């Protein structure tokens, strides 16, 4: 099927590495960056991911590629292995020199309705920030703001002009609201994703991803991951709305 356009905006111009205060991660791309994000998410949840779980989240049938990524990240000094921790033995190394932050970076726009030509312009870059402590919503290094444009999430209490506070993470649970990119175009929707992986490490076929609107006037998007690149940018953790005085 053709890539869905309703409710999509271009988030391809967002440099995910530039949002991370750890200098070494600026050289990371693709799956290597995602492995680091998965490990950081597991650390925040006090449940480090296993190699098998990382492979499943990346859609890889073999753990060999994951081991290569882990060794590279270890050499960069970004993660370390605890030989006493069993299968959950990889942990990110905290950067003690990370500066404290008292604001949330506004890094672009996200569609909730008609397509947006450009998801990152001069008025909504990472140099613009919201003067709110990011720890209100989670880790300071993983929370960003996106300006909502459109009304497809109206019944979830999300309106055009709101600021969506998104915690960057590579996966979300079914039923959670997420910022998702489809072939580089971004949208804010309810995630109904496929479940990959089977018993004893045997992979199962990955089904279609469904992205639901919270407005009866918008159709559900159904995307085949085999035909289109579908990635979770992050999970919605808050909304900021400014009321205009009349």
Distances (CA, A) of 42 to 37, 170, 171, 185, 200: 9, 11, 11, 27, 22
Let me know if 152 is a catalytic residue. Answer: yes
Let me know if 189 is a catalytic residue. Answer: yes
**240/133 Cα distance (integer angstroms):** 13
Neighbouring C-alpha atoms within 13 Å toward the C-beta of 216: 0
> Cα 15 to chain center, whole Å?
12
Query: Which of the following is catalytic: 189, 208, 216, 235?
Result: 189
Q: Measured on CA atoms in the order 176, 237, 37, 152, is the torsion positive or negative?
A: positive
Q: Quick check: 112 and 187 in contact, CB under 8 A?
A: yes
Name which of 43, 31, 171, 167 is nearest 95 in CA terms: 43
Distances (CA, A) of 97 to 21, 22, 75, 94: 10, 9, 19, 9
Query: Which of the following is catalytic: 9, 142, 152, 235?
Result: 152
Which neighbouring-strand residues pair with 188? 179
**65/214 Cα distance (integer angstroms):** 38
Query: Which residues are tagged catalytic?
Result: 152, 189
């Amino acid at each position: 099927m053709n890539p869905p356009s309703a409710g999509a905006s271009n988030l391809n111009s967002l440099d995910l590495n530039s949002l991370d205060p750890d200098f070494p991660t600026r050289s990371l791309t693709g799956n290597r960056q995602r492995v680091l994000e998965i490990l950081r998410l597991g650390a925040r949840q006090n449940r480090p991911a296993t190699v098998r779980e990382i492979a499943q989240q990346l859609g890889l049938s073999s753990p060999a590629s994951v081991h290569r990524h882990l060794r590279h990240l270890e050499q960069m000094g970004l993660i370390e292995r605890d030989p006493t921790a069993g299968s959950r033995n990889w942990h990110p190394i905290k950067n003690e020199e990370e500066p404290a932050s008292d604001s949330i970076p506004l890094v672009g726009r996200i569609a909730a309705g008609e397509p947006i030509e450009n998801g990152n312009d001069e008025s909504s870059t990472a140099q613009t920030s919201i003067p709110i402590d990011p720890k209100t919503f989670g880790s300071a290094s993983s929370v960003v703001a996106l300006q909502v444009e459109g009304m497809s999430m109206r019944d979830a209490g999300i309106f055009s002009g709101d600021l969506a506070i998104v915690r960057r993470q590579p996966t979300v649970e079914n039923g959670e609201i997420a910022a998702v990119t489809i072939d580089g175009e971004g949208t804010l929707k309810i995630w109904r994703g496929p479940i990959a992986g089977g018993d004893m490490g045997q992979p199962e076929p990955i089904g279609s991803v469904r992205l639901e609107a919270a407005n009866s006037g918008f159709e559900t998007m159904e995307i085949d991951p085999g035909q289109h690149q579908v990635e979770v940018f992050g999970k919605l953790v808050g909304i900021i709305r400014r009321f205009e005085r009349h």
